[in-house]
Amino acid sequence: MSLIEVKNLTKIYHDGEVETPALRGVSLDIEDGEFVAIMGPSGSGKSTLLHILGFLDKHTAGDYRFGGKALADYTEEEVARFRNEEMGFIFQTFNLLRRTNVLENVKLPLLYSGVKPQLWEEKAIAAIKTVGMDHRLNHEPSQLSGGEQQRAAIARAIVNNPKVIFADEPTGNLDSKSGGQVMETIEKLHENGNTIILITHETYTAEYAQRIIRLKDGLIENDERVKQRRHPANHKFIK
């Protein structure tokens, strides 16, 4: 059984009497532990698809199953819990609290979890060490480079040990060197067993994935395995 199963998924946005279809019947399966990149031009529906898969938005029609259970069968409490504990989110704009240091930013998801408060700092520090940012524990975002801010955001995304990580253009605001470091961090998470779903418009970034799905006008244009992936350690290709 796939971790994610999508059949004939559609999403229509309404603005008064105007209907704008974002997804027009998308079907796909994603296995537990897979690293998938979703690509497409602006307006292709890739961010809409990620938001639906991440329980951040609801589809108009079709079927979406996570872990074998239809999204429609989840209660609001279950949706909130799964989003916080089973899913981690990385965004292009980092979304860190400005006047709050790295440690406190990473602790934030734990406030709404079932983790005992006395364990919050230990778990947050462990996540920060995973992304190589333990030397920046007490720094605020304004004291960090763009790449460091994104790695702090990744630490926040993994602090609850989620099953799947959704990354929406995680290198979009970074130079190539910082972007490469962020992708190395994401690949490390994949090697540790996380399912990764990555939205990107950059071919270089997508080549870290095992599989690339290309969207166009709300439909899957192509879905193929990556024959030669970029190796995170030295950016060379591997089969």
CATH code at position 233 = 3.40.50.300
Task: Note whether residue 75 is domain-resident.
Answer: no
- What's the structural domain count of the chain? 1
Task: Note whether residue 6 is domain-resident.
Answer: no
pTM: 0.91
Tokens (6 digits) for 207: 């080549």
Distance CA(62)–CA(12), nearest Å, equals 12
Task: Note whether residue 69 is domain-resident.
Answer: no
Residue 90: give the domain boundaries: 31-58+83-238
Distance CA(40)–CA(17), nearest Å, equals 27
Task: Note whether residue 9 is domain-resident.
Answer: no
Q: Position 228: which residue type?
A: Q
Task: Note whether residue 51 is domain-resident.
Answer: yes
Res 17: pLDDT: 84
Res 199: pLDDT: 95
Task: Note whether residue 22 is domain-resident.
Answer: no
Report the SS3 class of residue 85. helix
Average pLDDT over residues 24-46: 95
Average pLDDT over residues 139-156: 94
237 pLDDT exceeds 50?
Answer: no
Q: Of 79-83, 135-139, 187-191, which range is least confident?
A: 79-83
233 pLDDT exceeds 70?
Answer: no
Task: Note whether residue 65 is domain-resident.
Answer: no
Task: Note whether residue 119 is domain-resident.
Answer: yes
